[in-house]
Amino acid sequence: MRMLSTRKSALLALVLAAVAAVCWFTHRAYDELYNLPIEARLISNFNVEQVRSASPVTLNMSGQPMYSGMVVRNVTIKTRGSVMFVTPHLALVGLAKPIAQGAFEYQVVIPDSVDEVRFGKPAIPVWKRNKR
């Protein structure tokens, strides 16, 4: 009787480990298809323009991701010290409600504490504040 309990416990532990592994793999696959940070080099016609006379400073960013079948799902903005990181995230068409179909246009307000803006993965510098 005791041997059967130990065998059932071992089997249950094995099944739970297998379920956990499948869940982890599914989550990673979903994350790769739904939340792919775009590489800056894979955007054609990328353009950054500073809006004239805007206070605080505002940048207009636009471009066309070269991934067919993917759309810009969202854009994350993180600030570390005086550097702001702007990262668009792609998703497969149909998996996400896009903020842009095909080409994207995005406006970023730059706080006074930020002196540099970097874009995409790897984070390439696209704007620096003019020091007077």
pLDDT (tens digit, 0 to 9) for every residue of the chain, 132 residues total? 455 588 888 888 888 899 898 888 877 776 666 677 888 788 888 899 999 887 889 999 988 888 777 778 888 999 999 999 999 888 777 766 656 566 788 899 999 999 999 998 888 999 999 875
CB-based contacts of 131, cutoff 8 Å, min separation 6: 115
Do residues 26 and 78 both lie within one domain? Answer: no
Q: What is the pLDDT of residue 4?
A: 58
Do residues 59 and 112 both lie within one domain? Answer: yes
Do residues 43 and 87 both lie within one domain? Answer: yes
25: containing domain: 1-34
Task: Give residue 35's identity as a one-letter amino acid code.
Answer: N
Do residues 16 and 60 both lie within one domain? Answer: no
Environment class of 8 (CB within 10 Å of its CB; exposed 0-12, middle 13-18, buried 19+):
exposed
User: Going by DSSP bridges, is the β-strand pair 116-119/83-92 parallel, antiparallel, or unpaired?
Assistant: parallel
Do residues 51 and 113 both lie within one domain? Answer: yes
Distance CA 98, CA 92 (A): 10
Do residues 41 and 30 both lie within one domain? Answer: no
Do residues 67 and 28 both lie within one domain? Answer: no
Do residues 23 and 47 both lie within one domain? Answer: no
Do residues 52 and 13 both lie within one domain? Answer: no
Do residues 44 and 81 both lie within one domain? Answer: yes
Do residues 64 and 93 both lie within one domain? Answer: yes
Q: What is the number of structural domains in the chain?
A: 2
